[in-house]
Amino acid sequence: MKILVCISHVPDTTSKITFSEDKTSFNNTGIQFIINPYDEIALARAIELAEGGKGTVTVINIGEVSTEPTIRKALATGADDAVRVNAAPRDAWFVAKQIANYANGKQFDLILTGRESIDYNGVQVAGFLGEFLNIPSISIAKKIDIHEKTALVEREIEGGKEIISSPLPLVVGTAEGVAEPRIPNMRGIMSARTKPLEVIEAIEVETLTKIVQYESPAPRGAVTLIDAAEPEKLIELLHTKARVI
């Protein structure tokens, strides 16, 4: 089984986010970047499915040369080889077009993405990929099992669970529960240095979106503590100060 895992290069969740003076671009000075956590889940499940000679795992990233340490970490975790499309990602449409262009005709049985990237939270790439490659896609999967040429994918829905059976090839956007992210060991880190990392140029893609301006969230307001014995005071403040009732 051939598996393609799409990984994003995102700021660490502990990073302090700032923007340029004109608020039109992200300031990455001093920022630590990591593999998108949901993509780490996808990668871990791909490695599990391919273990024991059952398949191969290729990772793909859309990014400039600065993303290569992140790609090497994916290789150290257990991927067999990697591809970097040499372009700064603009939006989900652009990213999915690049991945689809690479994957088209390469006979991947399973394409895994994270449910979303933690920087923009778009939940779009898996759906776009399925459309561009003309194969089924399922997003926000909680469990993935493969039986010969059929995938069983479990999703959480309101009030219960949904289990979907789909033939391969298939695109799946993974969420928590699919697998536990893996930590590279020393052997993996050493072998990652020699694993293939192919760099290809991006194709032209129509620009459909443009970032006009970034804004930071409003600072948190002061907290007012109310004694549990004074519920009438809480009700008064909800009326007069918060004005939510």
- Residue 179 covered by a domain: yes
- Residue 77 covered by a domain: yes
Overall residue count recorded for the chain in this entry:
245
Do the strands 110-114 and 137-147 form a parallel or antiparallel pair, or are they unpaired? unpaired
Output the pLDDT for position 203.
96
- Residue 82 covered by a domain: yes
Exposure string for 79-110, b = 16+ CB within 10 A, e = fewer? bbebbbbebebbbbbbbbbbbbbbbeeeebbb
What is the extent of the structural domain holding 91?
2-209
- Residue 217 covered by a domain: no
How many CA atoms, within 13 angstroms, populate the side-chain half-sphere of residue 147?
5
Output the pLDDT for position 153.
96
- Residue 150 covered by a domain: yes
* pLDDT tens for each residue of the chain, 245 residues long: 999 999 999 998 888 888 888 888 888 888 889 999 999 999 999 999 999 999 999 999 999 999 999 999 999 999 999 999 999 998 999 999 999 999 999 999 999 999 999 888 888 999 999 999 999 999 999 999 999 899 999 998 888 999 999 999 999 999 999 999 999 899 899 999 999 999 999 999 998 888 888 888 788 777 888 888 888 888 888 888 878 88
Query: How do the residues of the chain divide into helix, strand and coil, expressed in percent and rounded to 5?
Result: 30, 30, 40
Return d(Cα 165, Cα 145) in angstroms, integer.
10
Output the pLDDT for position 20.
83
**What is the pTM assigned to this prediction?**
0.85
The helix or strand, by DSSP H or E, that contains position 42, with its residue range, turns out to be helix 37-50
Domain count, the chain: 1
- Residue 223 covered by a domain: no
CATH number at residue 101: 3.40.50.620
Output the pLDDT for position 178.
93
Output the pLDDT for position 210.
84
